[in-house]
Amino acid sequence: MDRTTEGWISGFIGVLIFSGSLPATRVAVLDIDPLFLTLARATIAGLLGLALLLALRQKPPARSELASLAVVSLGVVIGFPLLTALALQHITTANSILFVGLLPLATAAFGILRGGERPQRAFWLFSGLGAAFVAGFALLQGSSISPVGSLLMLAAIVLCGLGYAEGAKLARTLGGWQVISWALVLSLPLTAGLMLLNLPGTWSGIGMPAWWGLAYVSLFSMLIGFVFWYRGLALGGVAGVAQLQLLQPFFGLILAALLLKETIGWAMIAVNVAVIACVAGAKHFAKPHAAQAR
């Protein structure tokens, strides 16, 4: 198996794991304050990451890598979780699909800016078409979208795309699971300290579903998913593998249907098939022409 294929497989596993993030967050914020949820998930994952780094005796990152790790922390450890948790107080899981559909484009754009990747022009055609399918499907859901929730989600997408691209660049030298672990550890003094200052006044109002939601976003969304995701981006290329995120909203809706009783119709299945075709097209054109690469 070549490195690119291995990267796409690893990226796909990461997307499957991330697909549960928004439904789990939606369940958790019904009982847990969004700020505390963000801080708690980062603190729990940070402690687990620290334990992994110590157990496997990983040497600290170089001083030149600290700025990039700070960008990763800002984007995926604090920014995206906090902003989406706040947004999901104003919009539904289905509404958030509109914005998640823009994440592959944001990641690809930052991959070009930060990683120097140059996909072919047809790549942008398939990428834009896939985003249009996802956004169009979300708009056809028919419910109004809160302006506050929309702005929060847009900011979350920009920060997340930057964090993904920066982390993928680091993963080529530092390693995939090491990147997210060090980013979490770097944030740990801030997240743990603020978490202790924002403890709930009472725990009695937090139901078991909210606790399960917190557990999922702490262990899987914040740590395990990134192990596969950053490895996939590093091996398969940021711009190309990022298009797998177009599938994430549909996997997420399937989970939302099971957990939150949202309806899955034939329209969603048809759009999903179209998105898969766009992902396949984007994968084919993700690498530059030989002449262009020189």
Whether pLDDT at 291 is above 70: no
Q: What is the DSSP letter of 30?
A: T
Whether pLDDT at 196 is above 80: yes
Percent pLDDT > 70 in the chain is 85
> How far out from the chain centre does Cα 119 lie?
22
Average pLDDT over every residue of 265-277: 72
What is the C-alpha separation between 164 and 147, in angstroms, rounded?
Answer: 26
pLDDT tens digits, one per residue of 101-115? 778 878 888 887 776
Least confident stretch, 28-32, 122-126, 205-209, 228-232: 122-126
Domain coordinates of the chain in residue numbers? 3-293
Look up residue 82 and give its amino acid.
Answer: L
Query: What's the predicted TM-score (pTM) here?
Result: 0.79
Which 3 state secondary structure label does DSSP give 132? Answer: helix
Alpha carbon separation from 103 to 194, 232, 246 (Å, rounded): 28, 16, 8
Q: Give ∠ CA 180-186-190 in degrees, rounded to 5.
A: 120
Contacts of 113 (CB under 8 A, 6+ apart): 165
Whether pLDDT at 256 is above 70: no
pLDDT tens digits, one per residue of 18-37? 888 878 888 898 899 988 99
Q: How many CB atoms lie within 10 A of CB 108?
A: 29
Q: How many CB atoms lie within 10 A of CB 255?
A: 18
Alpha carbon separation from 256 to 30, 43, 66, 116, 272 (Å, rounded): 14, 26, 37, 37, 16
